[in-house]
Structure 1
Amino acid sequence: MSLGSQIAGHLPFLRRYARALTGSQASGDAYVREMLEAVLADDSLKAEMAGGRVPLYRAFSKVWSSASGPAATGETDSEHEAGAQARLGAITPPARQALLLTTLEDFSVEEAATILDRSPEEINAMVAAAIADVDREQTTSVLIIEDEPLIAMQLEDLVTGLGHTVSGTAATRTQANAAVAEATPGLVLADIQLADGSSGLDAVEDILGIASMPVIFITAYPERLLTGDRPEPTYLVTKPFQEATVRAAISQALFFGSTRPLG
């Protein structure tokens, strides 16, 4: 398999990671492009890329740490992104990286240590620090849009366990609209394929036409959205999910205060 083919298979998930770090699809993609340009210009980096996902994320981490991308220079594509970047000082960037690598991207502590040039002990300490920082966020109410009852119950338990309240649950687009009419949530967790064949994407667009709040999509088919052909969800969790992954996504969404599900 060619190097390009190897990298292409991992790129959708690297872009998801970059987007979670920056709070923006535009800035995240800009960092990924800068990393790819660096690889093309450096034969030693090309050789490392044959090692799979870990060296790819390691190369990206070097670009991110260099703070040379558009988000670092203050070139942002929206007021939301500018606000998100202003809040980055509230949590140490390496700690955020460690948290996302071991939850959202499902790397082992040892793999995250290699990516960030740290020891496993340092990674564990950084993850603990990141969790402490993001858990200081204000509690909110959560609407759960999910057509599988057991998963909906699991998400309810997770949300309440984090100190949030559940404003409502919905299995269809119609039910979601009705739930928002009764109580406006501060956060939405949404499946994409719903019980009656309706779309969670459409349900969320309806909701955001009424009020602004962060949205986390949960789906068994992330590759259908991570195409680069259109604006993508900022927060996207893959089914079957680990509770730690959803917890990290909730914390990140509240930390950045995203008011759009896409872009």
Structure 2
Amino acid sequence: MIARILIIEDEALVAMELRFILEDLGHQVVGVAATARAARDLVRENDVDLALVDIHLSDGPTGIALGRELGQDMGVSVLFMTANPGMVREGVAGAIGALSKPTDEQAVETAVDYALRRRHGQPVEYAPPGLQLFG
């Protein structure tokens, strides 16, 4: 299942690695944003299926609020990425879960596949390792 994915990550090397992984999997990366403002602009300019959202961005700890906005107001499915998944709680509209960082290609692949299946109402057989699920 191919998707249009936005990476919201302020660490350039992490963002670049995620981009390579996602493109190798055949997904279209619509952009990389290091700030909440840049992310909003990219979502307005592109049709985005899924956003990978770091919870601490260069303009502050805005990732959770941004994820809520993307899910609730813009119809984007959200996977948070954080070294401390316990910081993110359920109840963020559109958020599927939180993926622990650091991560690897296999974890990203299975988490993205899981998120896209949930987005499209397809059955999911298991929760991927390293992904803290919401609802």
For normalisation by structure 1, the TM-score amounts to 0.43
How well do the aligned residues superpose, as a CA RMSD in angstroms?
A: 2.2
Paired with 1:197 and 1:209, the residues of 2 have a C-alpha distance of: 21
CA offset digits 1:186-238 (Å, max 9, x no partner): 11111001012141111122223443232111101112236xxx536532111
Paired with 1:182 and 1:165, the residues of 2 have a C-alpha distance of: 14
Paired with 1:204 and 1:262, the residues of 2 have a C-alpha distance of: 13
- Structure-to-structure mapping, 1:90-169, within 5 angstroms: 137=1, 139-169=2-32
Structure 2 residue 94 is matched with structure 1 residue 220:
no
Residue identity opposite 2:102 in structure 1: P
1:190 corresponds in structure 2 to: 53
Q: From the superposition, tell whether residues 205 and 258 of structure 1 become closer, same or farther in structure 2 (CA, over 3 Å).
A: farther
Bigger radius of gyration: 1
1:200 corresponds in structure 2 to: 63
State the identity %: 34
2:112 corresponds in structure 1 to: 250
CA offset digits 1:157-185 (Å, max 9, x no partner): 01101101111111111111111111121
Paired with 2:76 and 2:116, the residues of 1 have a C-alpha distance of: 9
Q: From the superposition, tell whether residues 180 and 171 of structure 1 become closer, same or farther in structure 2 (CA, over 3 Å).
A: same
Look up the SS of the partner of 2:7 in the other structure: strand
Gaps of 5+ in 1: 1-136
For normalisation by structure 2, the TM-score amounts to 0.80
Q: From the superposition, tell whether residues 219 and 148 of structure 1 become closer, same or farther in structure 2 (CA, over 3 Å).
A: same
Structure 1 residue aligned with 2:91, among 225, 231, 236? 231
Structure 1 residue aligned with 2:103, among 235, 241, 249? 241
Which structure has more relative contact order (CA 8 Å, sep 6+)? It is: 2
Maintained 8 Å contact 1:214/1:257 = yes
Gaps of 5+ in 2: 122-132
Q: From the superposition, tell whether residues 156 and 198 of structure 1 become closer, same or farther in structure 2 (CA, over 3 Å).
A: same
Equivalenced residue count is 122
Structure with the higher helix share, 1 or 2: 1
Residue identity opposite 2:112 in structure 1: I
Residue identity opposite 2:101 in structure 1: K
Maintained 8 Å contact 1:172/1:198 = no
Maintained 8 Å contact 1:213/1:258 = no
Look up the SS of the partner of 1:234 in the other structure: strand
Paired with 2:98 and 2:120, the residues of 1 have a C-alpha distance of: 13
Paired with 1:195 and 1:185, the residues of 2 have a C-alpha distance of: 22
Structure with the higher strand share, 1 or 2: 2
Paired with 1:154 and 1:215, the residues of 2 have a C-alpha distance of: 19
Paired with 1:151 and 1:178, the residues of 2 have a C-alpha distance of: 21
Look up the SS of the partner of 1:244 in the other structure: helix
